[in-house]
Amino acid sequence: MRAFGTTIFAEMSALAVQTGAINLGQGFPDTDGPAAMLDRAVQAIGAGANQYPPGPGVLELRQAVSEHRAAHYGLAYDPVGEVLVTVGATEAVAASVLALCEPGDEVIAFEPYYDSYAASIALAQAKLVAVTLRPVEGRFTFDPDELRAAVTPRTRAILVNSPHNPTGTVFTRDELTVIAELCQERGLIAITDEVYEHLTFDGVEHVPMATLPGMRERTVMISSAGKTFSVTGWKTGWVCAPPALVTAVQTVKQFLTFTASAPWQLAVAYGLRHEMEWVAALGAGLQDKRDRLMEGLSAAGFSVLRPAGTYFVQTDIRPLGFTDGLELTRRLPELAGVVAIPTQVFYDHAERGRHFVRFAFCKKEEVIDEAVARLKRLSS
């Protein structure tokens, strides 16, 4: 693990604290989730839900997850045996990779990829094979031929993140069908990170891989309360998959954290059953904030790509005369009093993302406006 060091999120958030810069880097909201759901957590603590919950998770949450999958996607998962609660989606991804991959296996991921993917694959002594997402007509997508060429006899799984962090792309049904057909042709597992499933914009549909023909039985579907309900600090996620896959993931997960957060689990169960209108309003508000930030970044001189989901906007820094995103973001607090994330750190082929910088718009409007005003210094 020596090659991984400190995550870019820790580095940039620390830089924001040290310099007093506005943090548009790390993807956490600066407002709380639904008040009634927060109250449920307080009530659960007061009622004594403060010891170890069951290893698979509190049954009430597993039932609520099962109900949610059925209501939103028409997917039937048995809360006993096909739903596993995890310490956020990050643990779910790590436990899935560790459970399902042997040393020397290959896992395909789309670059730029969330940084924990590479670390999880390294811990499993497997190999990450990156397929690059490139801007085409204003959105990031992949070349189907390049994806097919990446599959070898050692390939075990394809890690699919949609809505995609850090590009903001949402894979279309046609794109997902390409992945699904390849999984079935080559006997691969799909590990799907869907934490931004409810945060899509402009009417764009999120299509879970498990809903495609032949994919439920070979998909490990991962979600989280953190992004859905703006409670990233609760670290409450879940896996939905067929029993054999859930058993494998739980076998690893029990030796990572065993279990956690009974009060949060009970509160999230309430949220899934009673606060989805709040989530819909959150998505609409984030779309407005996205537009606000995009307009400001364009006015500041960045070339901006329009995200269809997530918390993030990708920008091309070359119109401002910069070519290295890592160098710029380390100087940005001094130049403009703002922190962002250099996208190149999420690539195996860093040169392909060197000119991209990611900004987060999951912040209050006044924070976005002040950040944009400061960023205009770059072009003045």
Dist. CA 236–CA 57, nearest whole Å: 10
Q: Are 192 and 219 in contact (CB under 8 A)?
A: yes
Last residue of a domain, one of 255, 274, 293: 274
- Domain identity same for 175 and 96: yes
Segment 90-115, tens digit of pLDDT: 999 999 999 999 999 999 999 999 99
Q: Is residue 1 part of a domain?
A: no
Q: Length of the chain in residues, anyone?
A: 380
Supply the pLDDT for residue 2: 83
The enclosing domain of 142 has a CATH number of 3.40.640.10
- Domain identity same for 90 and 230: yes
Supply the pLDDT for residue 139: 96
Domain containing 265: what range? 35-274
Q: Is residue 353 part of a domain?
A: yes
- Domain identity same for 224 and 318: no
- Domain identity same for 179 and 136: yes
Supply the pLDDT for residue 7: 86
Q: Is residue 127 part of a domain?
A: yes
Supply the pLDDT for residue 10: 87
CA angle 63, 66, 72 (to 5 degrees): 135
- Domain identity same for 154 and 293: no
Mean pLDDT of the residues in the chain: 97
Tally of domains in the chain: 2
- Domain identity same for 358 and 287: yes
Dist. CA 267–CA 61, nearest whole Å: 8
Give this prediction's pTM.
Answer: 0.96
- Domain identity same for 303 and 236: no
Q: Are 98 and 124 in contact (CB under 8 A)?
A: yes
Q: Is residue 3 part of a domain?
A: no
SS (H, E, C) the chain: CCCCCCCHHHHHHHHHHHHCCEECCCCCCCCCCCHHHHHHHHHHHHCCCCCCCCCCCCHHHHHHHHHHHHHHHCCCCCCCCCEEEECHHHHHHHHHHHHHCCCCCEEEEEECCCHHHHHHHHHCCCEEEEEECEEECCEEECCHHHHHHHCCCCEEEEEEECCCCCCCCCCCHHHHHHHHHHHHHHCCEEEEECCCCCCECCCCCCCCHHHCCCCHHHEEEEEEHHHHCCCHHHCCEEEECCHHHHHHHHHHHCCCCCCCCHHHHHHHHHHHHHCHHHHHHHHHHHHHHHHHHHHHHHHHCCEEECCCECCEEEEECHHHCCCCHHHHHHHHHHHHCEECEEHHHHCCCHHHCCCEEEEECCCCHHHHHHHHHHHHHHHC
- Domain identity same for 48 and 116: yes
Q: Are 187 and 215 in contact (CB under 8 A)?
A: no
**pLDDT under 50: residue ranges of the chain:** none
- Domain identity same for 128 and 80: yes
